[in-house]
Amino acid sequence: MRRRTWVITGVMAIALVAVGFATRDRWMPDSAVAQSPARPAARAVPVEITSAVRKAMPVTVDALGTVVPIASVAIKSRLETEIIGVHFADGAQVKEGQPLFTLDGRALEAQIAQTEGVLARDKAQLEGAERDVRRYTELLAKNAGTPLNVDNAKTQADMLRGTIKADEAALRNLRVQLSYTKIVAPISGRISAANVKVGNFVRPADTAPLAVINQIKPVYVAFAVPQRSLADLKQAIGGGTAQVQANVPGEPEPSLGKLAMIDNTVDATTGMVMVRAIMNNQDEALWPGTLVNTQLTLRTEDAVAIPASAVQTSQSGTYVFVVIDGAAKAQPVTVARTVGAEAVIAQGLKGGETVVTDGQLLLTDGTKVAPRAPRVGS
């Protein structure tokens, strides 16, 4: 009984204290109220800001591309013979017409000498047949010969003329084959390592080439773009505005070029169309077979641009914080595309607005903001 009394007494005391605190403004003197400490004002959140700018922005298509040589030639032997000379260093730059290999041509030289001898013999026989024709013709004119002798002589001369033509054709063929013993570079480019050395026997049936030359100055970059960009691609090529950048991982500067061709077929399974850009590549930064990041610029158009870091994402879509009268306001936006570190805004901004680029985590609608200097290295 005594314990319950103490509990009731304590509850009543707490209730009296609470009522007195709630009605203190009525019974406390004005001087005491004035001396009570004031609630501190809300602190402004430091943020980085910038302005939305309306300017000319490129319309681009990003894709993964492959470096492809404009011309690639596999060097092979046309003769069954032995290698007697290799005249280039492995991986060297070669020029068109530069000697590469020398093959053993002694057998062909002997055949040429033999054919020249046969040709000389047949020419001598033709001279004798032509003399017979003249002699039999003169005798026939004096009624000392017969027309049969004349006809036979002419036939013999004609046969020898045909034989001489065959000899000359065989001689030309042998000389052409002899020219195959000196293999020169058909194009300028970068040559591979030689697959054969002096002393190796080669034949036309060999599957492996003697070496391969790739032309890489200039060079192609091939990549696929969506078929929805096909109309813009054709318009860009017609207007000469299609420019391409190819970025090689590890290279400080991109390689520049222009769109050269569009494939004549869209891949029905992927909905992509292959295109090729021709790159000058004088520094040989683009190596055949290398994967590169390509950016195709179709044209430029007037648009509102802001740093991509200003764009935030929520369940309802993308938005940015706009600073109005020192306070942050969430503004929904539609991002058309991203160009480098900038976002192109299709809807939501008109240009000239002040947007927050860093410090958005502490912001809500109406939060006071205080601009601060950008961070070092940002």
Q: Per residue in 117-153, pLDDT tens?
A: 999 999 999 999 999 899 988 888 888 878 898 889 8
For the cut 60, the answer to whether the pLDDT of residue 308 exceeds it is yes
Within-domain flag for 15: no
Within-domain flag for 282: yes
| Cα 294 from Cα 288, distance rounded (Å) | 15
Q: What is the pLDDT of residue 138?
A: 86
From residue 106, how far is each of 142, 179, 309 by CA, in Å? 55, 12, 75
Within-domain flag for 376: no
* Residue 35 confidence class, pLDDT cut points 50, 70, 90: very low
Q: 243, 278, 300 — which closes off a domain?
A: 300
Pair of tokens at residue 200: 């190796």
Within-domain flag for 2: no
Residues 199 and 327 reside in one and the same domain:
no
Residue from 97, 99, 77 nearest 88 by CA: 99
| CATH number (domain holding residue 161) | 1.10.287
Amino acid in position 66: T
| CATH number (domain holding residue 231) | 2.40.30.170
From residue 52, how far is each of 59, 308, 342, 349, 356 by CA, in Å? 18, 11, 10, 8, 10
Residues 81 and 205 reside in one and the same domain:
yes
Q: What is the pLDDT of residue 298?
A: 86
Within-domain flag for 218: yes
From residue 166, how far is each of 116, 152, 351 by CA, in Å? 12, 21, 85
Summarised one tens digit per residue, pLDDT across range 176-201 is 999 999 999 999 999 999 999 999 99
> Mean per-residue pLDDT for 285-305?
91
Of residues 347 and 42, more confidence is placed in 347
Residues 208 and 80 reside in one and the same domain:
yes
Within-domain flag for 39: no
Residues 117 and 148 reside in one and the same domain:
yes
What is the residue whose two structure tokens read 């032995």? 82
Q: 180, 198, 230 — which closes off a domain?
A: 180
Given a contact cutoff of 8 angstroms between Cβ atoms, the answer to whether 304 and 333 are in contact is no
Within-domain flag for 17: no
Residues 51 and 156 reside in one and the same domain:
no
Looking at beta carbons, which pairs linking 308-317 to residues 24 or more positions away fall under 8 Å? 308/338, 308/341, 308/342, 308/343, 309/341, 309/357, 309/358, 310/50, 310/343, 310/355, 310/356, 310/357, 311/335, 311/343, 312/360
| CATH number (domain holding residue 93) | 2.40.50.100
Residues 163 and 117 reside in one and the same domain:
yes
Within-domain flag for 289: yes
Given a contact cutoff of 8 angstroms between Cβ atoms, the answer to whether 99 and 87 are in contact is yes
Domain count, the chain: 4
Residues 170 and 274 reside in one and the same domain:
no
What is the residue whose two structure tokens read 């406390």? 28
What DSSP element (H or E) covers 62? strand 53-69
| CATH number (domain holding residue 358) | 2.40.420.20
Q: What is the pLDDT of residue 1?
A: 47
Domain that holds residue 149: 105-180
Instruction: Give the side-chain half-sphere CA count within 13 A for 102.
Output: 7
Residues 149 and 258 reside in one and the same domain:
no
* Residue 33 confidence class, pLDDT cut points 50, 70, 90: very low
Q: What is the pLDDT of residue 372?
A: 87
Q: What is the pLDDT of residue 8?
A: 54
147-176 per-residue burial string, b: 16 or more CB within 10 A, e: under 16: eebbeebbebbeebeebbeebeebbeebee
Query: In percent, how much of the chain has pLDDT > 70?
Result: 88
Whether the CA torsion 129, 134, 138, 141 is positive or negative: it is: positive
Residues 328 and 203 reside in one and the same domain:
no
Given a contact cutoff of 8 angstroms between Cβ atoms, the answer to whether 101 and 85 are in contact is yes
Asked, as a colleague might, if the bond just before 58 is cis with ω within 30 of 0, I would say no
Within 268-333, strands assigned E span 272-279, 291-307, 312-314, 317-324, 327-332
Pair of tokens at residue 204: 């036309």
Residues 332 and 257 reside in one and the same domain:
no
DSSP 8: H
Q: What is the pLDDT of residue 14?
A: 56
| DSSP per-residue letters across 159-188 | HHHHHHHHHHHHHHHHHHHHHTTEEE-SS-
| Cα 176 from Cα 334, distance rounded (Å) | 70
Q: 180, 200, 230 — which closes off a domain?
A: 180
